[in-house]
Chains A and B, each alone.
Chain A
């Protein structure tokens, strides 16, 4: 029986309320801001800073998913569409107390791809969803100066890494990237998450 979107929202709300330790939002925003500024000073190349933020997010995500699955008790998602719903309504809600809206996109049909005789998940490859944030607790006080704007920095790129890391631990390889950001003067802040493929269960490299 498919869990409805309202049930996800309630679940997220319960998880947020049930969390005993919360951190002050301003402290969190100031800490993240200091981190980004320090990275800029260290690397001086905005593309590199984006990469580092994504890497940091990846490491956070691989750990965060454990906490999330343990506390939420949610089972495996049936399809990628549901993944998007759960991330937006339960994931972001329980950790950041924000609920981005989700827009799903079907996979782009590829005529050169042989007809799949495999299981249903094959159909999902290439599908994506877009998370639209109307508020971003990481960027609470931030105004990007001109050189940063021109350099192409995605301030909250750590979020993309978190999504990629978390989903990789549940056997999904995704690409997550920012499409637009209000800090850069765009209309909205959006992240596109695209499913590359489902991963086979395999022994992690270096574990033998």
Chain B
């Protein structure tokens, strides 16, 4: 894994295009809204790509969606149409698709582990089944922890710890 990979943000968007979680790793708080915006604009690009693929939509990994300012945005769509958007800081080092795919797989598994919690729908009042309303609560604590762990491992490829979840 090249040393220069820095994860700026990770966003999960539900099948109904509601944000599930947007987690940023850059220093300033002001940029959080920027990543909401990035996730939002990514939706259009993702929809475009998915429609272009047409019938052959078995590929989860969507590749580089677009690049703007100082970030490169990559997309991934799960079989149940949950979209994962990854914003990486632009760097000169070569970024390989297979590594980004690995990051997405890890994020997908973290999401899967968290929604498998049987208590998740326990207090859920939302009718449409989207779990967006409870994201801030403690039930998603482990999910946030797993995402943080993945981002940390990506940023520090020399560390020998195995990513959680």
Contact = CB atoms under 8 A, between A and B. Distances in A.
Interface string B101-121: 000000000000110111101
B112 to A, nearest CB: 9
A143 to B, nearest CB: 5
Contact of A26 (B114, B116, B141): B116
B118 A145 contact: no
Contacts of A199: none
Interface of B: 113-114, 116-119, 121-123, 137-139, 141-142
B99 to A, nearest CB: 27
A40 B117 CA distance: 15
Contacts of B122: 37, 40-41, 145, 148
Interface of A: 26, 29-30, 33-34, 36-37, 40-41, 140-148
A140 B117 CA distance: 8
Given A141-B117, A142-B117, 12 more contacts: A29-B116, A30-B118, A36-B118, A40-B122, A141-B114, A142-B118, A143-B119, A143-B141, A145-B119, A145-B123, A147-B123, A148-B122
B44 to A, nearest CB: 33
Contacts, number: 43
B132 to A, nearest CB: 17
8 contacts: A30-B118, A37-B118, A37-B122, A141-B113, A142-B117, A144-B119, A145-B119, A148-B122
B144 to A, nearest CB: 11
A143 B116 contact: no
A144 B137 CA distance: 12
Contacts of B137: 145
Contacts of A36: 118
A37 B119 contact: yes
4 A-B pairs with least C-beta separation: A33-B118, A141-B116, A37-B118, A141-B117
Chain B CB within 10 A, most for which of A36, A141, A146, A148: A141
A34 B123 CA distance: 14
A187 B139 CA distance: 20
A36 B116 CA distance: 14
